[in-house]
A and B are shown apart, each in its own frame.
Chain A
């Protein structure tokens, strides 16, 4: 079997496994993030669904950052668009589901095209900072609670009146929401796969490698960069919609702050920027660890630890940040880099192999 076939087979096995997780009522100690140590308990399914949502968002972000080389610090803006526009359309305006979805993606598309075109007028670090500033402005706008739409700091709970019954936030629906989140990830993966393997996707990589060379070849990078930015934004919006369905409440600090952007970036780099499965793995590891560490820190026995251990260990943000720093320093290429380094022999091994032949 070729490498590509092995990858497809592995991906299919994982997909089938995760699709069937809600039926696995196995009791597993220690490793599950939910409070009940059963695989298909509500808590664990919720955490896994959150993993899938961020995996999709991270994958979209990877198209822009890992494949096209655009370090944007604004993906949270499109995630928040998905959360808030969908939430406002359903809750404040009582729109039907399909119209709410249509509006959400239309708003995201327009925002991405307009703001992307402005931000892409500058390149490099200036682009990074402009996207950061736009995302921050968006955050302020949400906090401002214009016309009482967003609910400001207190947030906006999703009204499920216009949603089909199987989607409402009831506990018995958790497995349906799990499948929605999983479906979002599969869809995002399929779209990103098709795009990155297409001719357009190859131009993305060429932009990352050497934009000037591309211009010399007569290709104008701007349109491709905007396309990459827009695709990544639309995927983030899809993630936002899945998020609000799963979590049921939109709070600015959780869905619109720069911290979210930075976590998405951390996920992609941990997993391996520029690879599809790397971004997905990084996001799943990140969210899972984050939730798992919170559970561990809430254990009663945890309070008996001395404070120099308890304080750092109770902060997932500290542990994940520290792991991230260590990865950047010692494991460039992330998890995907580790795997491919094992697969492709190093220069030293090649030379040794040559010597042996002689």
Chain B
């Protein structure tokens, strides 16, 4: 039972990271019809920004402060990368959705190539406070503190995002734009500004996801292609949850995280099944789509 509970909690932590990555994708798709391939890049850049900040910060600040600094760097790095992407390459292509997808693919390839050239394919080690790796006991189970941090991060962002989308003027514009973009612009509202905003918010969450993924799941290592592998799962989460739905992303992220964690633990030890966790996630996607082609919470495609 304890094992099961621990698995559940680490699955939830994984789900929280998927949620951070997927909710931005889902918002961007919902508002702008863009399948944003550069989202993986935003995650990678967030993680590299965190690494850069943490390795350049003076050691006298102490590990916790340095970690907070790198957290801020990840969020800002992701947001900046996403904002620039929207303004520089997405904006000239408004009204051409396929070209927008293609341009994000090209950007992802080019920037990943640049990171490979600059830092090599060997991962960089991210300085993280020792406390993150220590285990805490909670309700009879013990997990690394990093898992709790990931879970808390996902929860805080979910609540903040829900509040932003329901209670603020721009949040309401974004929600209305997801429902019916033409109508919103017909009412004289500058949707283009909402586009940039959605990218910045999505990028910030992606940057955070990139850092948390590095801390919790890849042994504090940062590598140029890690965002791209995370991106595929984020896509799966978005499709399962229903394109454009934040709650759908949250539920689907939990499902995917849990399924991956359970199957990895219970079946992954058998020979030739090391990738069963990843495979079962794809299977889950196929099952959900057969049952509900628009995803769990999707309205229309």
* B235: A residues at CB distance < 8 A: 129, 132-133
**CB <8 Å contact, B272 and A146:** yes
**4 tightest A-B contacts by CB?**
A321-B110, A317-B113, A318-B113, A321-B109
Interface of B is mostly: helix
**CB <8 Å contact, B275 and A129:** no
Nearest B-chain residue to A137, judged by Cβ: B282
Identify 24 residue pairs between A and B in the complex whose beta-carbon atoms are under 8 Å apart, listed by A's number.
A121-B289, A126-B301, A129-B238, A129-B239, A134-B286, A136-B232, A140-B275, A140-B282, A144-B274, A148-B272, A258-B228, A262-B109, A266-B106, A311-B118, A317-B109, A318-B111, A318-B113, A318-B114, A319-B113, A320-B113, A324-B102, A324-B109, A325-B103, A325-B107
- In the complex, whether B108 has a CB less than 8 A from a CB of chain A is yes
- In the complex, whether B128 has a CB less than 8 A from a CB of chain A is no
**CB <8 Å contact, A262 and B35:** no
* A11–B200 CA distance with the chains assembled, in angstroms: 48
CB distance from A309 to the nearest CB of B (A): 11
**CB <8 Å contact, A122 and B103:** no
- In the complex, whether A1 has a CB less than 8 A from a CB of chain B is no
- In the complex, whether A55 has a CB less than 8 A from a CB of chain B is no
> Which of A275-319 touch B at CB < 8 Å?
311-312, 314-319
Q: Known contacts A118-B290, A266-B105; decide if A128 and B35 are in contact (CB<8 Å).
A: yes
Nearest B-chain residue to A123, judged by Cβ: B301
* A312–B99 CA distance with the chains assembled, in angstroms: 24
- In the complex, whether B293 has a CB less than 8 A from a CB of chain A is yes
* B232: A residues at CB distance < 8 A: 132-133, 136, 258
**CB <8 Å contact, A136 and B103:** no
Nearest B-chain residue to A261, judged by Cβ: B105
**CB <8 Å contact, A265 and B102:** yes
Q: Which of B33, B96, B243 contacts A126 (CB 8 A)?
A: B243
Q: Known contacts A266-B105, A266-B109, A325-B106; decide if A130 and B239 are in contact (CB<8 Å).
A: yes
**CB <8 Å contact, A133 and B293:** no
- In the complex, whether B140 has a CB less than 8 A from a CB of chain A is no
- In the complex, whether A16 has a CB less than 8 A from a CB of chain B is no
Nearest B-chain residue to A69, judged by Cβ: B98
- In the complex, whether B116 has a CB less than 8 A from a CB of chain A is yes
- In the complex, whether A172 has a CB less than 8 A from a CB of chain B is no
Q: Which of A130, A140, A312 contacts B278 (CB 8 A)?
A: A140
- In the complex, whether B273 has a CB less than 8 A from a CB of chain A is yes
**CB <8 Å contact, A312 and B117:** yes
**CB <8 Å contact, B107 and A321:** yes
**CB <8 Å contact, B117 and A311:** yes
- In the complex, whether A88 has a CB less than 8 A from a CB of chain B is no
- In the complex, whether B279 has a CB less than 8 A from a CB of chain A is yes
* A18–B35 CA distance with the chains assembled, in angstroms: 39
Nearest B-chain residue to A263, judged by Cβ: B109
* A147–B272 CA distance with the chains assembled, in angstroms: 7
Interface of A is mostly: helix
* A96: B residues at CB distance < 8 A: none
Query: Could you give, for residues 59-73 of chain B, a 1 whenever the CB lies within 8 Å of some chain A CB and a 0 otherwise?
Result: 000000000000000
**CB <8 Å contact, A320 and B109:** yes
- In the complex, whether A351 has a CB less than 8 A from a CB of chain B is no
CB distance from B94 to the nearest CB of A (A): 12
- In the complex, whether B112 has a CB less than 8 A from a CB of chain A is yes
CB distance from B252 to the nearest CB of A (A): 12
Query: Could you give, for residues 97-135 of chain B, a 1 whenever the CB lies within 8 Å of some chain A CB and a 0 otherwise?
Result: 011011101111111111011100000000000000000
CB distance from A75 to the nearest CB of B (A): 14
CB distance from A9 to the nearest CB of B (A): 33
Query: Could you give, for residues 314-355 of chain A, a 1 whenever the CB lies within 8 Å of some chain B CB and a 0 otherwise?
Result: 111111111011001100100000000000000000000000
- In the complex, whether A124 has a CB less than 8 A from a CB of chain B is yes
- In the complex, whether A6 has a CB less than 8 A from a CB of chain B is no
* A316: B residues at CB distance < 8 A: 113
Point out residues on B near A: beta carbons under 8 Å.
29, 33, 35, 89, 92-93, 96, 98-99, 101-103, 105-114, 116-118, 228, 232, 235-236, 238-239, 243, 272-276, 278-279, 282-283, 285-286, 289-290, 293-295, 301
> Which of A95-126 touch B at CB < 8 Å?
118, 121-126
> Which of A230-285 touch B at CB < 8 Å?
258-259, 262, 265-266, 269
* B99: A residues at CB distance < 8 A: 328, 332
**CB <8 Å contact, A143 and B102:** no
**CB <8 Å contact, B282 and A329:** no
* A328: B residues at CB distance < 8 A: 93, 99, 102-103, 106
- In the complex, whether A187 has a CB less than 8 A from a CB of chain B is no
- In the complex, whether A145 has a CB less than 8 A from a CB of chain B is yes
Q: Known contacts A145-B272, A266-B105; decide if A329 and B110 are in contact (CB<8 Å).
A: no
* B110: A residues at CB distance < 8 A: 317-322, 324-325
* B102: A residues at CB distance < 8 A: 265, 269, 324, 328
**CB <8 Å contact, B116 and A130:** no
Of the listed residues A118, A148, A269, the one surrounded by the most CB atoms of chain B closer than 10 A to its CB is A269
**CB <8 Å contact, B117 and A130:** no
Nearest B-chain residue to A314, judged by Cβ: B117
CB distance from B48 to the nearest CB of A (A): 15
* B29: A residues at CB distance < 8 A: 125
* B228: A residues at CB distance < 8 A: 258
Q: Known contacts A128-B35, A130-B285, A140-B279; decide if A312 and B109 are in contact (CB<8 Å).
A: no
**CB <8 Å contact, B282 and A134:** yes
**CB <8 Å contact, B117 and A324:** no
* B116: A residues at CB distance < 8 A: 315, 317-318
* B275: A residues at CB distance < 8 A: 140-141, 143-144
